[in-house]
Structures are given as structure tokens and as C-alpha cells.
């Protein structure tokens, strides 16, 4: 995996303690609290598990269909499972969309939108887009883009400013309407059946772990990619050092909302009909890890970064940063 410029330029986690980092972001603490409390509404007080009447149980790995898997832990009422065949971590329960419209109206979506719109966060995101597009343009001419999981539209804003022709997609009503009010075209049709005009690039920023039937979705939207067109993903990395140390205490595991946890191997499996052109890892999360190793609150503690023990560069070189970017080309 490539060493990414992004760890130095984009990530705060290799240079600031969590306490310093969180104090820079408006209302970070209250947003974090809402995010952590929110999934409790799905929990049955008697069993401590997600309410049976709201969920569907998976009977096999949603990526490779194997029925051989092991229990890892329960978080926010959702059982987390490791597939013995493909190493995907997934939740056994998923919310039943027929019964609860969590994709459209969940408060957690509004909340994440606030976070992504914060000036400190969105300025860094814009630098990130510049660097990623330097790489993408090496492989194809890019004009038309389809972006799904558009969230508050920070990427749409940037792409429009750079004169790309971009269409977004966002199921969450408040987030989508926010994007539309900024002048963007943002769809909410089912991604497994949606029709699109041909595009040069499909982007997915930090969203693939929310997608419940990713194989069907990729098969469908991939049809609208031009020959030699590109798929770009930024993912939360299941192989990250922080997740591997902290397990269920890692923020990567959000009971009802992140139901499939990918590393590059699992993403390659999802994208088996595509060629992997480039991958890079960034965001060492050394501030969280240092707090954890010093018995401090992992998210808010002020432990100094243990750089003598763990080099942020090495963490990312080994593909163990919290984030992975990957570029695929249609075969
Ligand atoms: Zn599997």
C-alpha cells in the first residue's frame, strides 16, 4: 500500500492530542454524545440486544455468502461477527427498513452533517479532495461524476467549484435537502435499481459500510460507468491499528449504522470485476491509541502521542491507518 500525503496534510491524529483536536471543532463533545446515545433507541431493555421486531438476522456473510463465522462482541445491541472465509466483520442484525425509516430521518445523519460542515473539518476535506484528484486524473479523463453517500455536500461543493459535472445521492432527507438548497442535483432513488447517465467516475466517501446490499448496488451503478471509468472509495479501515487494539471501543463500530467493515482485501472482493489501480492508508489515530494505552478516555483524553513506540508513518505504510483510499478501473 502507498504512503499517503494525506496523513501529514489531512489528519490531525498524528500531531494533536485528542483533547487539542476536539477543542478545535465546534460542539464536538455534544455531537459525539448524541451519536453514542442515539442507537440506544433500538435496544430491548430486557435482552440488551437490538429489538427483535425492528431487525432482520443475517444467515450468511453478506460479502462472500459463507456460513462459517465467529462471534466477536456485541455493541449497542448489535452482534459483531467475523467471517471465517473472507475476514469481513459484519453485524448479525440489520435494521428492517420496512419497519423503521432510519436511512431517511435518523437524527445521527443530521449530526454527522453538522460535523462535516464545520470549518475546521471541511477545510481539511477540501485539501483531501485536491490530493485525491491529482491521483485520479493519472488514470482517466474526468468530467462527469456520480457521488453516493453525499452527506452534507462538502464534496459536491468542491467538485462544482472545480467545474466538474456532478450528481449526488443521499437517502437522508435533511442532508439531501441541504445539498439541494445549495444548488446541487442529489437523488434518492434505490441504488440497487437506479438509472443514471454515463459517468467517468463514481465516488463513495466514508459511506460503503452503511450499504446493506453492496454487491447488488455495485453491479447496478457500475453499468453506468464509461469503459475504463473509475470507482473511488474512501473507507473506514477494518485493518487499522486503532480498531485492532480497541475492538468494540473503536468508533468504527457503530451498531446499527456500520453493518459491514472492510479492509482492502474485502473491498477487492466486492470489486472483483474491477482492477485495483491504487490504494493508500492515512489517519494514524495515534492520539486515540495513545489515550487507550494510558488508560485515558480514548476520544477526549490528553495523553501525549507515543511516537517513540509507534510511528504514524509506519502505521500508514503498513496499511493500518484508520482510512484507506482505493481507485478501481472497470475491466
Ligand atoms: Zn465472508
**Domain holding 261: CATH number?**
3.40.50.150
Per-residue pLDDT at 25: 79
Distance 200 CA to ligand 1 centre (A): 30
Per-residue pLDDT at 101: 76
CA 295 to chain centre: 27
Nearest Cα neighbor of 145 from 200, 91, 81 is 200
Distance 62 CA to ligand 1 centre (A): 7
Cα 322 to Cα 274: distance, rounded to the nearest angstrom: 24
Cα 62 to Cα 207: distance, rounded to the nearest angstrom: 16
Residue 79 lies in a domain: no
Distance 249 CA to ligand 1 centre (A): 23
The DSSP bridge pattern shows strands 165-169 and 186-187 to be: parallel
Distance 88 CA to ligand 1 centre (A): 5
Residue 68 lies in a domain: no
Distance 95 CA to ligand 1 centre (A): 20
Distance 261 CA to ligand 1 centre (A): 11
Integer-rounded Cα Rg, in Å, for the chain is: 19
Distance 275 CA to ligand 1 centre (A): 20
**All cell numbers assigned to 306:** 507515543
Q: In this structure, are residues 288 and 11 in contact, taking their beta carbons and an 8 Å threshold?
A: no
Q: In this structure, are residues 82 and 89 in contact, taking their beta carbons and an 8 Å threshold?
A: yes
Instruction: Please give the helix or strand (H or E) that residue 129 lies within, else none.
Output: helix 119-136
Per-residue pLDDT at 32: 82
Distance 238 CA to ligand 1 centre (A): 14
Distance 259 CA to ligand 1 centre (A): 13
Residue 241 lies in a domain: yes
Q: Which residues of the chain have pLDDT under 70?
A: 106-121
pLDDT digits over 242-294, tens only? 999 999 999 999 988 999 999 999 999 999 999 999 999 999 999 999 999 99
Distance 154 CA to ligand 1 centre (A): 33
SS3 category, 265: helix
Nearest Cα neighbor of 299 from 22, 39, 26 is 22
Distance 81 CA to ligand 1 centre (A): 10
Distance 69 CA to ligand 1 centre (A): 8
Number of domains in the chain: 1
Q: In this structure, are residues 79 and 257 in contact, taking their beta carbons and an 8 Å threshold?
A: no
The residue segments making up the domain with residue 185 are 2-37+102-330
What Å distances lie between residue 5 and 131, 135, 142, 179, 226, CA to CA? 8, 11, 22, 29, 29
Instruction: Please give the helix or strand (H or E) that residue 175 lies within, else none.
Output: helix 173-181
Residue 272 lies in a domain: yes
Residue 44 lies in a domain: no
Model confidence, pTM? 0.92
What 8-state DSSP symbol labels residue 284? Answer: -
Beta bridge partners of 324: 235, 281
Distance 21 CA to ligand 1 centre (A): 36
Distance 83 CA to ligand 1 centre (A): 5
Beta bridge partners of 167: 146
Residue written as cell 477494518?
A: 238
Residue 302 lies in a domain: yes
Distance 320 CA to ligand 1 centre (A): 21
pLDDT digits over 53-62, tens only? 999 999 999 9
**All cell numbers assigned to 72:** 466477536
Distance 266 CA to ligand 1 centre (A): 8
Distance 65 CA to ligand 1 centre (A): 6
Distance 209 CA to ligand 1 centre (A): 14
Distance 215 CA to ligand 1 centre (A): 12
Residue 45 lies in a domain: no
Distance 104 CA to ligand 1 centre (A): 28
Nearest Cα neighbor of 144 from 201, 219, 215, 224 is 201
SS3 category, 259: coil
φ/ψ of residue 5, rounded to 5:
-65, -20
Cα 244 to Cα 267: distance, rounded to the nearest angstrom: 18
Distance 90 CA to ligand 1 centre (A): 9
Amino acid at each position: 500500500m502507498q504512503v499517503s500525503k494525506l496523513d501529514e496534510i489531512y489528519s490531525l491524529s498524528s500531531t494533536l492530542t485528542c483533547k487539542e483536536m476536539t477543542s478545535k471543532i465546534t460542539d464536538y463533545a455534544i455531537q459525539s454524545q448524541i451519536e453514542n446515545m442515539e442507537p440506544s433507541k433500538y435496544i430491548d431493555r430486557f435482552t440488551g440486544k437490538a429489538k427483535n421486531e425492528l431487525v432482520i438476522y443475517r444467515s450468511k456473510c453478506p460479502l462472500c455468502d459463507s456460513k462459517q463465522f465467529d462471534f466477536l462482541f456485541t455493541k449497542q445491541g448489535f452482534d459483531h461477527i467475523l467471517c471465517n472465509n473472507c475476514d469481513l466483520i459484519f453485524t448479525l442484525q440489520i435494521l428492517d427498513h420496512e419497519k423503521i425509516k432510519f436511512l431517511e430521518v435518523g437524527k445521527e445523519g443530521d449530526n454527522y452533517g453538522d460535523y462535516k460542515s464545520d470549518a475546521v473539518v471541511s477545510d481539511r476535506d477540501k485539501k483531501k479532495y485536491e490530493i485525491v484528484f491529482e491521483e485520479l486524473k493519472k488514470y482517466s479523463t474526468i468530467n462527469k461524476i456520480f457521488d453516493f453517500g453525499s452527506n452534507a455536500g462538502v464534496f459536491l461543493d468542491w467538485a462544482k467549484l472545480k467545474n466538474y459535472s456532478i450528481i449526488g445521492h443521499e437517502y437522508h432527507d435533511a442532508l439531501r435537502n441541504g445539498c439541494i438548497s445549495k444548488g446541487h442535483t442529489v437523488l434518492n432513488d434505490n441504488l440497487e435499481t437506479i438509472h443514471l447517465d454515463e459517468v467517468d467516475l463514481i465516488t463513495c466517501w466514508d459511506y460503503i459500510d452503511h450499504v446493506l446490499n453492496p454487491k447488488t448496488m455495485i453491479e447496478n451503478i457500475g453499468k453506468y460507468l464509461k469503459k475504463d471509468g473509475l470507482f473511488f472509495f474512501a473507507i473506514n479501515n477494518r485493518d487499522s491499528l486503532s480498531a485492532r487494539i480497541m475492538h468494540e471501543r473503536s468508533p468504527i463500530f457503530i451498531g446499527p449504522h456500520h453493518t459491514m467493515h472492510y479492509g482492502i482485501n474485502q473491498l477487492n472482493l466486492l470489486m472483483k470485476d474491477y482492477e485495483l489501480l491504487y490504494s493508500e492508508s492515512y489517519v494514524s489515530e495515534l492520539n486515540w491509541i495513545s489515550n487507550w494505552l494510558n488508560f485515558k478516555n480514548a476520544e477526549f483524553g490528553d495523553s501525549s502521542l507515543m511516537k517513540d513506540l509507534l510511528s504514524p508513518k509506519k502505521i500508514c505504510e503498513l496499511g493500518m491507518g484508520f482510512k484507506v483510499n482505493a481507485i478501481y478501473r472497470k475491466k
